[in-house]
Structure 1
Amino acid sequence: MKMIRNVAVGISGGVDSAVTALLLKNKGFNVTGVFMKNWDIRDETGNCTVEKDYEDARWICDKLKIPLIQLDFVKEYWNEVFSDLLEKYQTGYTPNPDILCNKNIKFNKFFDVARNRFQADAIATGHYANTSFGPYLENFKENTNVHLLQAYDSNKDQTFFLNQIPQQTLRRCMFPLGNYLKNHVKTIAKEASLHKIAQKKESMGICFVGKREFQDFISEYIDDKPGEYVDLDSGLSIGKHNGIHKLTIGQRCRIGGCENAYYVFSKDQKTNTIIAVDSGIHPALYTDFLITQDVHWISEEPHELRHSGVLSCDFRFQHRNPLITCNVYKISDNRLFIRLSVPLRAITKGQYAVLYSGEECLGGSIISYPGPSFFALNQQNSIIETRCCDLIALTSGVQM
C-alpha cells in the first residue's frame, strides 16, 4: 500500500478547517490548502462573503506556512446545487443545499481535482465526524469499505450532512476533528496564534443567503405567486400569501388580523393554496411513518434489510433532532417505508431521512411522502365509527 503523505485540505476561512490543517501539518503530512469558491453573487449590501472568507483562508495558510489554491466551482454549484434548490422550492419540496453541496461539490468535484490534478493521497475537511479508518487514515485498507461514524462532540456531529457521501471518497477522507470538542478546537487555534480565526463568528444557516431573510432572498430567483391561506379545520380562507416557495411545513405563517398563530400544514401546487392550522402542536403536523426514495447506503445495504426486508435502527430528519428508533422496510431497490417509534412534527418532502446504527451513519434517502397525519387518521376513524353506527341502526331498526 502506498503511504498516505499528500493531503488536500478544504480551507473555508473558519476555525475548524484552520485547525484541521494545523493538526495534519503537525502529524507530518504534506498539506495543501484548497479554497472552494462556490458562490460569487453579492448580497443586498454589495458584499460577497466569499471574498472575505478567501482573505481569511489566505491569512491562515500564510500563518501555517502551507500553500493555498483556489478552485472555482461556481458553475458546478449553480447547476448541481442551487438549480435543484430552486426547482424543489417551486414544487413544494424543502431541499437541503448543505447535503447536496457535500455530495456534488466537496466530496465529488473537490475530491476528483485533488486526486487527479494535485496527486493528493487523501482529502481532509473540518467536519465533525469519524470513520472506521481513523482520523488520519491510520487503518486505511485499499478496496475495503469504510464506515462513517459520529463525532465525539455530539453537539457538533455533522454526519447528518454527510449521509450522501460516496464510498470511494470516504475511503480517502480525513476528519481530524472527529475526536475533539469544539471548545478544544478553539483553544488549539489560540495556542497556535490563530486568535483572529478562533474569535470569528461561526457561519449559520444557508451560506449564500447571508444576513437576508430567506423569503426576501428566494424572491430574487422565483417570482411571487399570490394565493390563499385556508384553515384546515373550517375550510375558510384566512388570508393571502405571496408564494408557496416561501414557506415550509410547520413554519409559522404571517397572516394579519388572525387571533391565533397559524402554521403551514400542506401546500397545494395546483391551486397555489397553503393549508394552515391554528396551533404549533396541531395533530395535523405529526406523523409516525414516511416513504423515501433514492436510497444511498454509505458502506453497503444492511444485512438485515437485505435478507429479512426489515431493519431496526435510529432515525433523524433534521440535524439537531435527537435520534429515535424506527423500523425500516424495503419497498423496492431505491424506496423505503419507515415506521417511527414516536410521532414527529413537520416531516417534509425533500428533506433527508438519515439512518444510524449505534455510532454509525448508515446513509440516507429523500423523503417523498410523509403521513398520513394524526389528524387525518382521527378523521378517518370518526368516519368509520359513524358509518358503523349507521350500519348498526339500519340492521337493528334502532334510531341512532
Structure 2
Amino acid sequence: MRVLAAMSGGVDSSVAAARAVAAGHDVVGVHLALSRDPQAVRESARGCCSLEDSADARRVCDKLGIPFYVWDFSDRFHEEVIEDFIDSYARGETPNPCLRCNEKIKFAALLERALALGFDAVATGHYATVDEDGYLRRSPDEKKDQSYVLGVLSSKELQHCLFPVGDTPKPQIREEAAQYGFSTASKPDSYDICFIPDGNTQAFLGRTIGLRPGMIVDQQGQELRQHDGAFQYTIGQRKGLDIKTPADDGKPRYVTDIDARTGTVTVGPREALAVSRIKADRLKFLHPKMVGDIDCQVQVRAHGSVAACRAHIHRSEDWMELELQEPLSGVARGQAAVLYLPMPDGLGDVVLGSGTICETTK
C-alpha cells in the first residue's frame, strides 16, 4: 500500500512513519509548511510546523530511507484555520484551531492531494485507533487520546487514515524512537496554538480584531466595568476579569455569556454556568448509529470528561440537540460536541460523530 506519512517533526509522527515502513508499505514523508513566514521558528518549544520541525522530520525520513517533501499549505491554512479562528472569536465563540486544522488541512486538503497523487492512505501520529469494522475509537492511552480532535472527520476520509501509534502508550513510543536513533525521541510535545507561538492569544486577537470596547455586567444587567473587547473572554473564565466591586455573596464570578454584537460580557456565580441542553450544527458522521434519537456520551473539550446524554439527530437539517443527564459547566459556542458510544470490549469507546456547538440552554 502506498502511504503518505504526515511528518510534524515530533516523536509521534516519527514512530508512525517508522511503523508504516516496518509494516511493508511504500512510504513517503511529507511536512506541511503552514506559516506564511518562511523564516518561522519554534519559540520555546510551544508550537509546531516550524523550520526546526521540518528539519527534524527530514532527519527521520533520512534514517528510514524514505523520500521526504515539504508541501506549502500556508494560504489554505491561513484562510481556513487562522481566519476562521479570528472570525469565531469575533462572534463571541471559543474555537479549537487544532480541531479545525485536522478537519480542513491535515485530512481534507492533505488527503485530497495524496489520493490525487496515487497514495492509498495518510498516516499520522494521532492517538486513536480504527477497529476492524473501520470505526474510530479512543486510544488506550487515555491521557494522550486524540479521538476528540478527529471527531470532525468524515467516514469517507477515515477510510484512508492510518494511526500507527494510536494503540500504544506514549512512554513506549519515546522508547521506540530512541531505539531507531531519532533525535525526536526526547523532543517536548507541542502544546500551544502553532500560529501564536508565544501563547498570548489575547494579544494576537487584539492585533487582528482590534479594540471593541464593551461592558461587563452582572446577571441583573448592572454595569461593572468597561472592557476592550469581548474576544478577551471565554465562557467559564474566572481569572483576569479585574472587577473591583465584589459580588453581593462574596463568591467568585465567572463569565456566563458573551454577546459579541453588543460587546456585553455577562458574569455570575458558578452555578450560572450549568448547561442542560446543547444544540450543535455542522454535523459530521462517523458511525451509522448516529441517527434519530440515541443514548450516548458527549465530550465538549479536548481534554474534558464525558457526560451522558440523549441525542436527537436531525441529519437532513444539519443539527442536533443533546439533553444532558447531568448539567455541564463552561460549555462555549464554537467548541465541538463529539459523541461517543461506550463499548464493553475494552478497545476504546466508538466515535459516532460530532457537531459545532451553536447554542446552549441553562
Give TM-score scaled by structure 2 length: 0.90
CA distance in 1, matches of 2:341, 2:225: 45
2:230 corresponding residue in structure 1: 244
Task: Kindly indicate whether residue 356 of structure 2 is the aligned counterpart of residue 366 of structure 1.
Answer: yes
Q: Structure 1, residues 247-298: CA drift from partner, whole Å, max 9, x if none?
A: 1111123315344643211112232111112x4xx21111121111122111
Offset of residue 203 of structure 1: 0.4
CA distance in 1, matches of 2:67, 2:164: 19
Partner Cα separation in structure 2 for residue 350 and residue 287 of structure 1: 15
Identity %: 30
Give the match for residue 208 of structure 1.
195
1:220 to 203, 207, 230: 207
Q: Does 1:295 align with 2:283?
A: yes
The one of 318, 325, 334 equivalent to 1:341 is 325
Asked if residue 16 in structure 1 is aligned to residue 16 in structure 2, the reply is no
Mind listing any 5+ residue stretches in structure 1 that lack a counterpart? 134-144, 374-400
Quote the offset at 1:330 in angstroms: 3.2
- Stretches of structure 2 lacking an aligned partner (at least 5 in a row): 343-348
Distance of 1:49 and 1:38 partners within structure 2: 7
Deviation at 1:48, TM superposition (A): 9.3
Q: CA deviation at 1:332?
A: 5.9
Match of 1:122 in 2: 121
* Structure 1 partner of 2:257: 266
1:60 Cα shift? 1.4
Q: Partner of 1:199 in structure 2?
A: 186
Displacement of 1:99 in angstroms is: 1.6
- Verify the 8 A CA contact 1:40 1:48 in the aligned structure 2: no
How far apart are residue 49 of structure 1 and its match? 5.9
1: CA distance between counterparts of 2:158 and 2:275? 34
One-letter code aligned to 2:102: N
User: Do 2:16 and 2:164's aligned partners in 1 also have CA atoms closer than 8 Å?
Assistant: yes
- Give 1:205 shift: 2.5
In structure 2, the partner of 1:319 is 302
Which protein, 1 or 2, shows the higher relative CO under an 8 Å CA cutoff with sep ≥ 6?
A: 2
Q: Over the residues paired in the alignment, what is the CA RMSD in angstroms?
A: 2.2
Deviation at 1:316, TM superposition (A): 0.7
On the 8 A contact 2:42/2:50 being kept in 1, the answer is no
Other structure's SS at 1:220 match: helix
Q: Secondary structure at the match of 2:210?
A: coil
Does 1:33 find its partner at 2:29? yes
How many pairs are equivalent?
A: 346
Partner deviation per Cα, 1:126-152 (whole Å, 9 max, x = no partner): 00111124xxxxxxxxxxx73111112
The worse-fitting range, judged by mean Cα deviation, of 63-72 and 12-21 is: 63-72
Which consecutive segments of 4 or more residues in structure 1 shift more than 6 A? Answer: none
Q: 1:44 to 1:315 in 2, by over 3 A?
A: closer
User: For the Cα contact (< 8 Å) 2:32–2:49, is it kept in 1?
Assistant: no
* Contact kept in structure 2, 1:128 and 1:177, CA below 8 Å: yes
Following TM superposition, by how much is the alpha carbon of 1:350 offset from its aligned partner in structure 2, in angstroms?
A: 1.2
The corresponding residue for 1:165 is 153
| TM-score of the aligned structures, taking structure 1 as reference length | 0.82
Instruction: Give secondary structure in 2 for the equivalent of 1:340.
Output: strand
Who is 1:328 aligned against? 311
Distance 2:354 2:145 in 1: 16
Query: Is contact 2:335-2:357 (8 Å) kept?
Result: yes
The reply to whether residue 351 of structure 1 matches residue 351 of structure 2 is no
Code of the aligned partner of 2:191: M
Q: Taking structure 1 as reference, are residues 188 and 114 closer, same or farther at Cα in structure 2, changes over 3 Å only?
A: same
1:314-357 per-residue CA deviation (whole Å, 9 max, x = no partner) reads 11101222222110123562121111111111111111111011
